[in-house]
Chain A
Amino acid sequence: MNRYFWILGGFAALVALLAVGLNLNPRDVPSPLVGKPAPAFALNVLAKPETTLAPKDMQGKVWLLNVWASWCVSCRQEHPILVEFSKKTDVPLIGLNYKEVRGDGGFDMGKMPADEEKRLAFQRANKWLADHGDPYTLTVMDLDGRVGIDYGVYGVPETYVIDKAGIIRMKHTGPITPDVLGKKIMPLLAELGK
Chain B
Amino acid sequence: MSAVLRRWAQCCAVVCLAIFGQFSGVTGADAASIATEAALAADPVAEKRLLALSEELRCLVCQNQNIADSNAELAQDLRREIRGMIATGKSDKEIIDFMVARYGDFVLYRPPVQGNTLLLWGGPLVLMVLGLFLLVRYLRQRTRRVVETERPLSADDARRAEALLNESDSK
Residue numbers of A with Cβ under 8 A of B are 19, 22-23, 25-27, 29-33, 69, 71-75, 99, 102-103, 105, 108-111, 145-146, 148-152, 154-157, 174
Contacts and interface: CB of A to CB of B under 8 A. Distances in A.
Contact of A105 (B23, B28, B104): B28
Interface string B71-101: 0011001100100000000000000000011
A108 B32 CA distance: 6
Interface in B38-82: 60-61, 63, 73-74, 77-78, 81
Interface string B137-166: 000000000000000000000000000000
A121 B25 CA distance: 17
Contacts, number: 91
Nearest to A151: B102
A157 B32 contact: no
A31 B104 contact: yes
B113 interface: no
Nearest to A152: B102
15 contacts: A19-B7, A22-B8, A22-B15, A27-B18, A29-B106, A30-B106, A71-B25, A74-B22, A75-B25, A110-B33, A110-B36, A111-B32, A154-B61, A156-B24, A156-B26
B100 A74 contact: no
A154 B24 contact: yes
B11 interface: yes
Contacts of B33: 109-110
B23 to A, nearest CB: 6
